[in-house]
Amino acid sequence: MYRNHTCGEIRIENIGQEVLLAGWVQRVRNLGGMTFIDLRDRYGLTQLVVDDHSSEEIKNMAGTLGREFVVQARGTVRERSSKNPKMATGDVELQITGLSVLNSAATPPFTIQDDTDGGDELRMKYRYLDLRRETVRKNLELRAKMAHVVRNYLDAEHFIETETPVLIKSTPEGARDFVVPSRMNPNQFYALPQSPQLFKQLLMVAGFDRYYQIVKCFRDEDLRADRQPEFTQIDCEMSYVHQEDVLNMFEGLTKYIFKEMKGLDIVDFPRMTFAEAFEKYGNDKPDLRFGMVIQELTDLVKGNEFKLFDDAAFIGGICAPGCGEYTRKQLDALTEFIKKPQIGGTVLIYAKVNSDGTIKSSVDKYYTAEDLQNWAERLEAKPGDLLLITCGSKEKTLPVLSSLRLEMGRQCGLMDKENFKPLWVVDFPLLEWNEETQRFFAMHHPFTSPKPEDIALLETDPGKVRANAYDLVINGVEIGGGSVRIFDSALQAKMFKILGFTKEAAEDQFGFLMNAFKFGAPPHAGIAFGFDRLVSMFAGLDSIRDVIAFPKNNSGRDVMNDSPSPIAQAQLDELYLQLVKTE
């Protein structure tokens, strides 16, 4: 037996007991005749004491211990003379009667502490040491607990957890697939799933009624900070449901998660159409932790000889509460902010509401005090507030105002990570026009059902068709998304046609699904949650990387084991593949 207790569980009640612990040396303090060793495992820290009562052998061994040595210690629990109320085991210590080194340790390249001195790259290379840090391990424990909670809810609601294949058929729609050459079927390839979409729909055709899976998905995309080539989804599908049934079911799941994970009762799940979200917040995932709603000012500001506004198709603004004292420098910084290429704004007009109610703006020479009062009224500004106004085409200006709104939310401290404001965004457009390829793409995916009342528009004005598609947004982050599916093979065939598939291509790629629909497909709908993102939100993190045990970097590399890597010529030969030299 290596141990009979963990390092986190010894308490005052255990005084006098002999216990056996094993763990890592967190710290050794040599105070003259006494040596204190903090022994660490996943469960906590226990203080070991080597003093005059200990044998010479133990004293000598204690002197050789370094950080992260793996040791086994036998000893008697005694009360500490100076207790540490910050530690769960802080009332006691272990008077050592036996000590053995199970494994030595080279000095770690960074400290194994919450506030480590290791940089990002070093910590990723030695991820197994980084994971020793309590903050990082806690994130992974949170992840495990969340999976447990999610499964409890879905199991209780009679969802059948069903594994779908990882080696599937490659389809050109959507993002880029990772592919896997088949040795037994030379010159043919599997793909790794971007989602189990088709399989879960087939499970509905199969009468499974309710399906879920916490499942790895894959996308060969150029990576951003918050993207990983492999990621995890909570993937769900239900039969004989309307959109409303799905929203209620997964509102229930979300409430359950908040309750179980954080003890929070989140009651309010408002719903907002895509159109309204775009008008009021400039994007399809509004952060409802604060107001600062976008207001159109076009009608108020035109015709005052201010060319910039007179020429603009759309003028809109927000009111930043309490920012009326912003300095010239701060305002210039905001202008710089919206001019960043990724934001794409051009101009920022401001108006400060003074404490006496008068208004000072950057365009005073074009507008009367009354004009400015009208602006303030439209934006519901109070004394001390700051109006920020910009203009251009409507499609381009609203996203600029969205970015500005989020930036002001940050600056005003309105984005408390422990304040959770969920929102269903509904009625997404079915299709998006792509200028480059001059064709429509499915905004959600090709299996999403148009709203029944919009089906006629499919022939006349496809871009106007709304979908029975929905996103769950929390604090401005898209946590989940789904749709009611097409379950009629004729409508599905029409969708493929609109998306530019020839009959042959549709048959080749999705023939088995359309065929399945001919044998009695039930109405069905589903949703998928981004599990990594959900966990990172609960962990209060901005990136998903720290809720993944072994993440990849922005080039898709695991720097710890240096993969991907070249493979042997024999492997390539077996796969009937040849490498093409890169320049």
Residues 181-210 that bind a second copy (CB under 8 A): 181-192, 198-199, 202-203, 205-209
Residue 519 interacting with a second copy (CB under 8 A): yes
- 293: how many CB neighbours lie within 10 A of its CB? 16
Residue 556 interacting with a second copy (CB under 8 A): yes
Contact 113, 119 (CB under 8 A): no
Tell me which amino acid residue 106 is.
A
- Name the minimum Å distance from CB 178 to a second copy: 5
Nearer to a second copy, 327 or 578 (CB): 578
Report the alpha-carbon distance of residue 284 to residue 297 in Å, rounded: 21
Instruction: Name residues whose C-beta falls within 8 Å of residue 456's C-beta, 6 or more positions apart in sequence.
Output: none
- Name the minimum Å distance from CB 329 to a second copy: 41
Query: Between the CA of residue 540 and those of 187, 204, 214, 419, what are the distances in Å?
Result: 46, 36, 21, 11
Nearer to a second copy, 360 or 518 (CB): 518
| Pattern 215-234, a second copy, x by CB under 8 A | -x-x-x-xx-----xx-x--
Q: Which of 126, 337, 366, 441 binds a second copy (CB under 8 A)?
A: 126
- For the chain, what's the residue count? 583
Query: Between the CA of residue 464 and those of 200, 271, 451, 456, 482, what are the distances in Å?
Result: 28, 20, 11, 10, 19
Contact 3, 72 (CB under 8 A): yes
Residue 255 interacting with a second copy (CB under 8 A): no
- CA 171 to chain centroid, in Å, comes to 26
Report the alpha-carbon distance of residue 322 to residue 327 in Å, rounded: 13
- Name the minimum Å distance from CB 446 to a second copy: 15
Q: In this chain, which stretch among 46-54, 99-107, 364-372, 495-503 interacts with a second copy, using CB under 8 A?
A: 99-107
Nearer to a second copy, 457 or 572 (CB): 572
Residue 452 interacting with a second copy (CB under 8 A): no
Q: Which residue has the tokens 């499974």?
A: 208
Q: At what angle do helices 531-538 and 243-262 cross, to 10 degrees?
A: 40
- Name the minimum Å distance from CB 369 to a second copy: 57
Nearer to a second copy, 67 or 394 (CB): 67
Contact 336, 329 (CB under 8 A): no
Residue 252 interacting with a second copy (CB under 8 A): no
Residue 575 interacting with a second copy (CB under 8 A): yes
- 19: how many CB neighbours lie within 10 A of its CB? 18
Q: Hey, which residues between 136 and 175 contact a second copy (CB under 8 A)? A: 137, 140-141, 143-144, 147-148, 151, 155, 160-170, 172
- Name the minimum Å distance from CB 176 to a second copy: 7
Residue 396 interacting with a second copy (CB under 8 A): no
Q: In this chain, which stretch among 100-108, 409-417, 420-428, 445-453 interacts with a second copy, using CB under 8 A?
A: 100-108
**DSSP summary character for residue 32:** T
H or E, element range at 314: strand 314-320
Residue 437 interacting with a second copy (CB under 8 A): no
Q: In this chain, which stretch among 11-19, 361-369, 435-443, 552-560 interacts with a second copy, using CB under 8 A?
A: 552-560
Q: In this chain, which stretch among 81-89, 323-331, 493-501, 570-578 interacts with a second copy, using CB under 8 A?
A: 570-578
- Name the minimum Å distance from CB 457 to a second copy: 23
Q: Which of 81, 103, 342, 438 binds a second copy (CB under 8 A)?
A: 103
The end-to-end CA distance of the chain, in Å, is: 58
Q: In this chain, which stretch among 237-245, 286-294, 428-436, 474-482 interacts with a second copy, using CB under 8 A?
A: 237-245
H or E, element range at 34: strand 34-41
Q: Which residue has the tokens 């990621």?
A: 231
- Name the minimum Å distance from CB 350 to a second copy: 43
- Name the minimum Å distance from CB 348 to a second copy: 38
Residue 69 interacting with a second copy (CB under 8 A): yes
| Total of chain residues touching a second copy, rule CB under 8 A | 123
Q: Which of 114, 512, 540, 569 binds a second copy (CB under 8 A)?
A: 512
Q: Which residue has the tokens 């076009």?
A: 298
Report the alpha-carbon distance of residue 174 to residue 164 in Å, rounded: 19
Residue 245 interacting with a second copy (CB under 8 A): yes
154 is written with which tokens?
Answer: 């879905």
- Name the minimum Å distance from CB 466 to a second copy: 21
Residue 55 interacting with a second copy (CB under 8 A): no
Q: Which of 27, 78, 176, 396 binds a second copy (CB under 8 A)?
A: 176
Bridge partner list, 433: 440
| Pattern 481-500, a second copy, x by CB under 8 A | ------xx------------
| Long-range CB contacts for residues 11-15, cutoff 8 Å, separation at least 24 | 11/88, 11/89, 11/91, 11/92, 12/79, 12/91, 12/92, 14/77, 14/92, 15/77, 15/78, 15/79, 15/92
**DSSP summary character for residue 117:** -
Q: In this chain, which stretch among 75-83, 179-187, 278-286, 454-462 interacts with a second copy, using CB under 8 A?
A: 179-187
